[in-house]
Structures are given as C-alpha cells and as structure tokens.
Amino acid sequence: MSDSVLLARAFHYACKCHAQQKRKGAAGEPYVNHLADVARRVAEATNGTDINLIAAALLHDTIEDVGVSRDDLVIAFGEDVAALVVEVSDDKRLDKAERKRLQVVNAAGKSDRAKMLKLADKASNVRAMVVSPPGWPDRRKRDYADWAEAVAAGLRGVNETLEVELDAALEALRAHYR
C-alpha cells in the first residue's frame, strides 16, 4: 500500500468509526477534528518521516472509543499501525480513575513513537479546552491540566516540538483558570 493510500484509508476509517461522536467543547466539533489535529501535530513534529505513526494518530481512539479490535486494525493497516494504536489505548475494562492513574504510571515505559503520539494527543486536548471550553467547573479544568502534565512527565525526551506545544497549551489553559 502506498503512503497516500494508507493515509486516505486511515482517514476514511476514522471518519466512519467516529461519525456519531462530537467533542466535549462548547463548539461541539466533530470528533474527527481532534484526530486530524493529532495527526497533523505528529506529522509536522516528525517532518512527515513516519507514515505509520500518522496513520496511527488518525486511528488512535478507534479501539478505546468505538470498540474496534486489534485484529481489525492489523487486517486493514498492518501490524505496526495496530501495535501503535494498542500502545496508546486505555483498557476500558478498568474504571476511569484507574485508567487515568495508569496513564501516569505507564507513560515512561512506552515506545518513543507512542510517546510522541500521546504528547500530541494531550496537546490537542488541552488546546481544545482553551479554544472551545467544555462546560466544566474551573476546578475540573485545573485538575485536567495537572493530570495531563503528570502524564507528559513520562513522555518527555523524545520530541522537543511536541513538548513545546503541550507546554504552551498548558500555560494557556492555566491562564484561563488559575
């Protein structure tokens, strides 16, 4: 499969999987906007050198949010893309607090590519909270920023650009809700 075919297929697959989902923010954007944002961030931060990582960014919530299986992704996109998506997916059998705790604990043990994807994901989510705030109390937004920063602590050292983007987004969020 050529790189452009892979990306077009991944984008189409993500659009189908997340067709009914919207972002939590006030603008109620289509969920796929987040996937495109994460894919753009990893693509730019790696100068477009890792096509499978960009495809995995488009697909990164298909297992967690839609119940797509690892095998489905292997068949459609190959082992490498599927493994990346698995690596950034939480285990939905656990409760939310435990999943959030494990993200902090497990971050440092991820592969460098999964770390980049997770950094881009956190930057996208934190930035979205500034641009299109969810109807959360300020306290909850501050807690989210603290948690995202704790996860990111284990993700640092693999990509300077993504770290700078995340730090800028965290600063912007905290400026709103200090």
Report, in Å, the least distance between residue 29 CB and Zn ion.
13
Chain position whose Cβ is nearest to Zn ion = 121
Helix (H, G, I), strand (E, B) or coil at 31: coil
Report, in Å, the least distance between residue 43 CB and Zn ion.
15
Stretch that binds Zn ion, among 17-25, 99-107, 108-116, 119-127 (CB under 5 A): 119-127
* Count of residues that interact with Zn ion, criterion CB under 5 A: 1
Residues taking part in catalysis: 64-65
Report, in Å, the least distance between residue 178 CB and Zn ion.
25
CB 84 within 8 A of CB 117: yes
Stretch that binds Zn ion, among 16-24, 79-87, 106-114, 116-124 (CB under 5 A): 116-124
When asked if residue 87 is in the footprint of Zn ion (CB under 5 A), the reply is: no
Distance CA 136, CA 85 (A): 28
Stretch that binds Zn ion, among 21-29, 104-112, 121-129, 137-145 (CB under 5 A): 121-129
CB 60 within 8 A of CB 88: yes
CB of 1 or CB of 16, closer to Zn ion: 16
Give the contacts of 119 (CB within 8 A, at least 6 positions apart). 152, 155, 158, 159, 162, 163, 165, 166
Helix, strand, coil proportions of the chain in percent (round to 5)? 70, 0, 30
When asked if residue 121 is in the footprint of Zn ion (CB under 5 A), the reply is: yes
Expressed in angstroms, the distance from the first to the final Cα of the chain is 49
Report, in Å, the least distance between residue 139 CB and Zn ion.
23
Q: Which residues bind Zn ion (CB under 5 A)?
A: 121
